[in-house]
């Protein structure tokens, strides 16, 4: 089989996610034959470093032997059983371990099967909590501009990336939107902390006016990934936690992309204040199974759980479900993932890798078409612009980022950008030399993309 064989069959029957299918005339999907570590290999034998962790899910490389082995063992034990009325050991053990490693107070785990679904669960649970406790007037949510929480209607509604959301507006809940603390927009000379503090005034004002009708504030802690990898200072989370308590509003931390070490700590919420913050809900997915199987969780507190615990006749139960909730194979992958974190002391090991990412890309900060090179932990983003001084972006229709992507493919690198933002969010098994290679390819790609 060659790439061409599979492409022809693919285009006959498949409709790909997040893709204008007409683009495939110039850029057909690349058929992947196998993966190993950071490498993906196609049917023609070309190899690519998976610099974006296959949409931010892969953590310990493709075909990781330890995770493979755990799933295979699980497969011979029980592949799936519904979680209503039944339970199984991997689901229980994983929940116990998640309670142990997440911020203190998140003591209950509700399983779902993808990131958007976990966000739906948190939104519904928050609303339902207030209803169960006599606050039916709380029906709204506050989000941040430039946020992203998924594609199902509830998750899309609390996001703010127009490219994905605008078409569906007539179908969506209407959140109240506070200005994002995104530090790309800070005044010259201002620190990330000063900017994030300053912008918090907008959130404070919204809460002051709308807390009585608001269920929860939802944020992506520290890093707005789909919103072009924009970043902010942990002080914002500290201020937000304190304000949510003061205004009697829940805080939902969507750590679907930021969780499992991406921001430099196991969870981004740990970086707020001296001891971190505990949100009322934490949504996790993506890295939870190291990119192996679909799984997500919405974690919450005993206080919230208790508001649903009642006689059946009172109809206060959370009657939400997905068929694959708590799938044992996915739980086994997640347990193996947690073992890998411990065995490799990965959070500490990542410090060396993130430092290398900073060093390797440092020269790009002086590039005439780079407005900013920014980094939070294991995520590094390069903002390509038309005019460096004014930070004017290129016309989006020119699709310059796509040129960087195409260049990367010719140089063994899968660097799928977000618009004109080129970024690295690699599996943690990447080597320092591979990071250097990605930086070199990104620099070449940017030169090429801005040349005409
Ligand atoms: C912060 C965040 N929340 C939610 C989601 C949605 O997850 P999924 O694509 O699994 O539905 C994503 C996906 O990129 C995300 O980055």
Answer yes or no: is pLDDT of 15 > 90.
yes
Answer yes or no: is pLDDT of 31 > 90.
yes
Answer yes or no: is pLDDT of 446 > 90.
yes
How many beta carbons lie within 10 A of that of residue 163, not counting itself? Answer: 12
In a domain, 359, yes or no: no
CATH of the domain at 397: 3.90.1150.10
- Going along 227-289, which residue ranges are E strands? 230-231, 250-254, 281-284
Give the ligand 1 atom nearest the CA of 114.
10
> Is the shortest distance between the CB of 148 and ligand 1 below 6 Å?
yes
- What is the reported pLDDT for 379? 98
Tens-place pLDDT, residues 111-138: 999 999 999 999 999 999 999 999 999 9
Answer yes or no: is pLDDT of 144 > 90.
yes
Tens-place pLDDT, residues 194-213: 999 999 999 999 999 999 99
pLDDT band (50, 70, 90) for residue 231: very high
In a domain, 363, yes or no: no
Same domain for 281 and 411: no
CA of 119 to the centre of ligand 1 (A): 9
Tens-place pLDDT, residues 339-383: 999 999 999 999 999 999 999 999 999 999 999 999 999 999 999
CATH of the domain at 190: 3.40.640.10
> Is the shortest distance between the CB of 156 and ligand 1 below 6 Å?
no
> Is the shortest distance between the CB of 115 and ligand 1 below 6 Å?
yes
Same domain for 376 and 324: no
> Is the shortest distance between the CB of 147 and ligand 1 below 6 Å?
no
Answer yes or no: is pLDDT of 77 > 90.
yes
CA of 122 to the centre of ligand 1 (A): 13
Secondary structure (H, E, C), 85-121: CCCCHHHHHHHHHHHHHCCCCCCEEEEECCHHHHHHH
Cβ atoms 126, 133 nearer than 8 A: no
CA of 150 to the centre of ligand 1 (A): 5
Residue 323 in marked binding region: yes
Same domain for 75 and 58: no
Residue 322 in marked binding region: yes
- What is the reported pLDDT for 293? 98
State percent of the chain over pLDDT 90.
100
Give the pLDDT mean for 294-323. Answer: 97
Residue to mutate, 255, 267, 286, 418, ligand 1, most ligand atoms under 8 Å from C-beta: 286
Residue 105 in marked binding region: no
H or E element: which one contains 442? Answer: helix 432-450
Nearest one of 310, 307, 231, 220 to 257, comparing CA atoms: 220
Q: Mark 285-298 as b/e (b = at least 16 C-beta within 10 Å).
A: bbbbbbbbbbbbbb
> Is the shortest distance between the CB of 113 and ligand 1 below 6 Å?
no
- Per the prediction, the chain carries an average pLDDT of 98
| CA-atom Rg of the chain in angstroms | 22
CA of 155 to the centre of ligand 1 (A): 9
d(CA 120, CA 103): 21
How many beta carbons lie within 10 A of that of residue 363, not counting itself? Answer: 12
Residue 116 in marked binding region: yes
> Is the shortest distance between the CB of 149 and ligand 1 below 6 Å?
yes
In a domain, 24, yes or no: no
Same domain for 150 and 232: yes
**Which domain, by its residues, includes 399?**
31-62+368-450
Same domain for 387 and 319: no
State percent of the chain over pLDDT 70.
100
Tens-place pLDDT, residues 391-405: 999 999 999 999 999
Same domain for 314 and 165: yes
d(CA 417, CA 430): 19
Cα–Cα distances (Å) from 279 to 108, 253, 299, 334, 336, in that order, read: 13, 6, 9, 22, 26
- What is the reported pLDDT for 452? 81
CA of 65 to the centre of ligand 1 (A): 26
Give the pLDDT mean for 145-162. Answer: 98
- The number of distinct structural domains making up the chain is 2
Same domain for 319 and 419: no
How wide is the angle at C-alpha 320 spanned by C-alphas 317 and 326, nearest 5°?
115
CA of 115 to the centre of ligand 1 (A): 5
């Amino acid at each position: 089989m060659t790439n061409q064989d599979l492409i022809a069959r693919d285009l006959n029957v498949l409709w790909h996610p997040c893709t204008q299918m007409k683009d495939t005339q110039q850029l057909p999907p690349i058929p992947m034959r196998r993966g190993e570590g950071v490498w993906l290999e196609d049917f023609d034998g070309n190899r690519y470093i998976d610099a974006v962790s296959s949409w931010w899910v892969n953590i310990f490389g493709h075909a990781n032997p330890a995770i493979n082995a755990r799933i295979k063992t699980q497969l011979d034990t029980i592949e799936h059983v519904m979680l209503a009325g039944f339970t199984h050991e991997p689901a229980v053990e994983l929940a116990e371990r998640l309670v142990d490693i997440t911020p203190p107070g998140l003591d209950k785990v509700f399983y779902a099967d993808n990131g958007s679904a976990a966000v739906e669960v948190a939104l519904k649970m928050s609303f339902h909590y207030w209803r169960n406790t006599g606050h039916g007037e709380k029906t709204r949510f506050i989000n941040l501009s430039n946020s992203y929480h998924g594609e199902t209607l509830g998750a899309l509604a609390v996001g703010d990336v127009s490219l994905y959301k605008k078409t569906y507006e007539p179908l969506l809940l209407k959140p109240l939107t506070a200005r994002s603390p995104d530090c790309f927009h800070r005044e010259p000379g201002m620190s990330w902390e000063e900017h994030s503090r300053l912008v918090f005034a907008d959130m404070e004002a919204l809460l002051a006016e709308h807390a009585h009708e608001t269920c929860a504030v939802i944020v992506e802690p520290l890093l707005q990934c789909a919103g072009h990898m924009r970043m902010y200072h942990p002080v914002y989370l500290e201020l937000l936690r304190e304000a949510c308590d003061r205004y009697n509003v829940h805080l939902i931390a969507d750590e679907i992309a930021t969780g499992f070490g991406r921001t430099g700590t196991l969870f981004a919420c740990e970086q707020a204040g001296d001891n971190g913050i505990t949100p009322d809900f934490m949504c996790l997915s993506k890295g939870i199974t190291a990119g192996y199987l679909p799984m997500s969780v919405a974690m919450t507190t005993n206080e919230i759980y208790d508001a649903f615990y009642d006689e059946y006749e009172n109809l206060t139960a959370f009657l939400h479900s997905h068929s694959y909730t708590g799938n044992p194979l996915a739980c086994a992958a997640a347990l193996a993932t947690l073992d890998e974190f411990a065995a490799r002391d990965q959070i500490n090991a990542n410090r060396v890798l993130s430092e290398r990412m900073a060093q390797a890309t440092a020269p790009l900060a002086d590039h005439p078409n780079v407005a900013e090179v920014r980094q939070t932990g294991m995520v590094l983003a390069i903002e390509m612009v038309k005019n460096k001084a004014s930070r004017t972006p290129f016309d989006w229709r020119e699709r310059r980022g796509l040129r960087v992507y195409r260049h990367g493919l010719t140089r063994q690198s899968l660097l799928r950008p977000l618009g004109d933002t080129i970024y690295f969010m690699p599996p943690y098994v990447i080597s320092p030399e591979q990071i250097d290679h990605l930086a070199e390819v990104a620099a070449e790609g940017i030169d090429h993309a801005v040349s005409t």
